[in-house]
Structure 1
Amino acid sequence: MSTQASFSLRGRNPDVLTCIANLSNDEVFTPPDFANRILDTLAQAWAADHGGADLWADKTVRFLDPFTKSGIFLREITTRLTKGLAQEIPNLQERVNHILTKQVFGIGITRLTSLLARRSVYCSKHAHGKHSIAKSFESDAGNIWFERIEHTWGNGKCSFCGASQTALDRGAGLETHAYAFIHTDKIKTRMAELFGTDMQFDVIIGNPPYQLNDGGYGTSAAPIYQLFVEQAKTLEPRYLSMIIPARWFSGGKGLDEFRESMLGDNRLRSIDDFLSAADVFPGVGLKGGVCYFLWNRDHPGSCQVTTRFKDWPVSTASRPLLEAGADVFIRFNEGLSILKKVVAVESGESASLSLPKSKRFDRLVSSRKPFGLETTFKGKARGRAGDVMVYQNGGTGYVARNSISAGEHLIDGRCQEFCVLRSVK
């Protein structure tokens, strides 16, 4: 066994991956401690499903990080397997070779991060280089793949991820941010092309890119993390765990179908919710917080929801993700009793309380762009007969009624105590 492999697999102090600055708020490096927390959750689920068996002592399990950046998940998985398989594969070099060639796989999101991930996992940016702890690879990439992928443009946007052509069609000298994992409608075929045939992954885990510029006003960006979750489910792993922004719980641009799918999926077995993203990613501004989830293909059931915020007491409850009378995720476990009381009043089951439906909060507020008007919309200063008066930021304006593309039934509606639009008489 080489001294290089021995050195690379012992404890690291300090850990260089705790010191690397994030690429952006869109592509965030996972702190090592947090990655290990997620791996602990995975190991606990595996043990519960397999009669107490140790996940890290199974030499047949395959792991995939399809959007690796620093390589932290793959590195920590390798470390755990190296310890766990010591009895079954006593020779350290043989054990390391087996783990890195048969069990641990990754896809880099950029050329830079692919090199960083290989350095973290193989101790060399070249998998078959002289300093690499893996001794069986014949390519530089090893099992951490990266090649430049181009967007598929149509009408100014990418047909796969929705990225703006104006923002990201920048020539060969710059990264395209066209991520290989989601830029295909035949993901199983792509996995076979990258890693060989019959590539069934038991665990897909990681921290995907969060959003891309969508060509909207200013710095407008559309979320893309949901595309990675959906694509990963298509591969049918036994377990799926990702860190994603928590805005999908109730809002987020273009996330309605994703939210409906997630909340209706009883294979989503745990959600750890962090109200402040800074508690996970120091110095990163992500409004709405972040969460990580565990999806369990073969063992559906209720979801264990855990809420954390700074020094507040941790709240945990096992419950359905979608409660009766709600079409969004109730983020706080303590809020469930309030919801159930309101639903009971509305259904007439509660005689002790009275609440007119017109006074319910969801009757007084609407979704984003209820009339199809952009948030930056400014109406004409003067209106003509038949125009609609808009109560807009800074006062009022006017717009032709046939320009209203949504919510026409709300205009002049007497049932709406706070209507946004009024017709000009």
Structure 2
Amino acid sequence: MANNSIPFAERLSPVRALFTSNSREGVLLIGIAVLAMVIANSALGEGYHALFHAPLPWTPIPKLWNAHLWINDALMVLFFFVVGLEVKRELVEGDLSNPQARRLPVIAAVAGMVVPASLFLALVGDDPQMHRGWAIPAATDIAFAMGVIGLLGRRVPGTLRLFLLTVAIVDDIGAVIIIAAFYTLEVKGIWLIASIAVAIGMAIMNMVKVDRVWAYFAATILLWFCVLNSGVHATIAGVVAALMVPMYRRNGKHLLEKVEHRLAPWNAYMVVPIFALANAGVDLRDLGPAGILAPLPLAIAAGLFLGKQLGILGAVAAAHKLGIASKPEGTSWLQVWGIAILCGIGFTMSLFIGALAFADNALLYEQAKIGVLMGTLASLVMGYLLLRFAPAKRLTVEQAEAKVESQVV
């Protein structure tokens, strides 16, 4: 139940942003991905690969011996930290705090992870090494998908924007759990105990209402270092640290909100683009047609493009039919289908999981990237076209806000 003493305009601020979302982040990611592909397939390809994968002349942490590792294991902690902040805010004060409002997105998100993973395993063949990529098509890139929504403007009802955002947040929670549970190879007990001790310390800071940003920043760095050495993937530290940031309000705002607002632009315009530049480039000349059309990339592309829409649309239709939850108000089934297709935009999280799944096999990792890019492109184009031309009676911004208010209050 939301706190009614908080002005509605403040409680709705994350939702209000959805009604005015722009396409800058999505367009930026598209541009970076294209740039990485062009460079990787040009005369600069060898230099591009060396820039990110050649050993550094010096590094303060031997475990991070090249730029690619610093980006994926260190810089991306900020991405996961912002994801954690967003998840906590939604669970405490947002749409995920309301059992009725979260029912449909949670059902859709779970189906949108299970069906793509199942389709991937059905198509990829009997090679157990390729089976490690089962989670790659289960992820949704929230920034990319919302960027496409921004291109469509008011053609997409506010209730559908909210539905997409909530599904993507639940999807992120699932992806974090998958990374922690299935992509941890060897755990070092001492470092794991140290990580737990730091996390408990941060929880105590929260309980005694420490509200200094620098204190949580320092604790997050320490937690990251301990997790990095524990064998659990270091980015999990970002999510855990974010969950320890306080939500109590002081002078109308809580610390979590302040931190999220400060970090969100850095995350959107620095961290994710750098990650995309380092991970999206794949030399098609090395793969050739046989590599591009191999079982792995086709299974990933099918999981993202077909699996996501089958899982999410099927779950929404079943929930609506059985009376468990109604489809988003003021929308047509064509529009719901379009949103389900857009959820197949995996990109950031899919590329990240691919790097973990095939860290010891460069060829399979390159093929995985091709699959992610193909599935993302197909989902982007088809989802955009369907939503662009789907006729529907749309809710106005005021009606959609009133609908959200009725769920929050």
Superposition TM-score tier, normalisation by shorter sequence: under 0.3
Which structure has the larger Rg over C-alpha atoms? 1
The structure with the greater share of residues assigned to strand is 1
Structure (1 or 2) with the greater helix fraction: 2
The structure, 1 or 2, with the larger RCO (C-alpha pairs under 8 Å, 6+ apart) is: 2
**TM-score (ref. length: structure 2):** 0.27
TM-score by length of 1: 0.27
